[in-house]
Amino acid sequence: MGTIRHLLALVILCAAVLGVQAAEPLAGRAQVSDGDTLRLGEARLRLHGIDAPESDQRCADASGAEWACGAWSAAVLRDLVAGRDLSCAPIERDRYGRWVARCTAGGTDIGAAMVATGAAVAYRRYGADYVALEAVARSERRGIWAGAFVAPEDHRAAARAKPQTVAAGPAGCTIKGNISASGRIFHSPGQLDYDRVVIDPARGERWFCSASAARAAGWRAARR
């Protein structure tokens, strides 16, 4: 019985490994969502081993002045992938249903380039692939390392704990018009990021009573 149990465990383990390996490589031109997330066709991807500043995140430069490091990080990723065919090897799916993948373009590891530029940090929780590159970027004060910043992971945690700037819109108006590095995006109830989106009127964000009203005002629908 013990031998049979061991064999069954081995079969299950092999099946799990093969399930990950069976994911087909993804290739093509990418659209960037933020500094570590992109889309290839219908596939949503999270770059393996890195964590980039969030789209709304701000950092401090060497003089202490604030700057939009989240928007800059996304712009760096756009420059890296612009006009290039990406080849992405899926590793696993995250809790949002995105593929976590290692992507290259023309032989360049995109995740490595983001960390080396100082546009992202090594995501140690999920691997040490880019820790050495991060150390170099930090010592040479590249990108976000030129001044001070909150780790993206901590920034997300603080955003989740912070009450919304505007708890609710006008009666019957439940669509959130958010402004980020990706432009003017509206989120409808039930979408993945709806509960995390905070409406800040001081930044030009607003509530809408219908999707058609949001589109007419120049916002586009969130993809998820």
Question: What's the rounded Cα separation, in Å, for the pair 88 and 38?
Answer: 11
What is the C-alpha R_g of the chain?
20
Q: How many CB atoms lie within 10 A of CB 94?
A: 13
DSSP per position, 121-186? EE-GGG--TTHHHHHHHHHTT-GGGGSB---HHHHHHHHHHSPPSSS--STT--EEEEEETTEEEE
Q: Please, which residues bridge with residue 26 across strands?
A: 88
Token readout for 42 is 């219908």
Active site residues: 46, 54, 98
Do the Cβ atoms of 79 and 119 come closer than 8 Å?
no
Burial class (CB in 10 A: 0-12, 13-18, 19+), 54: buried
Q: How many CB atoms lie within 10 A of CB 195?
A: 13
**3-state secondary structure (DSSP) of residue 218:** coil
Q: What is the DSSP letter of 120?
A: S
Token readout for 97 is 């249903």
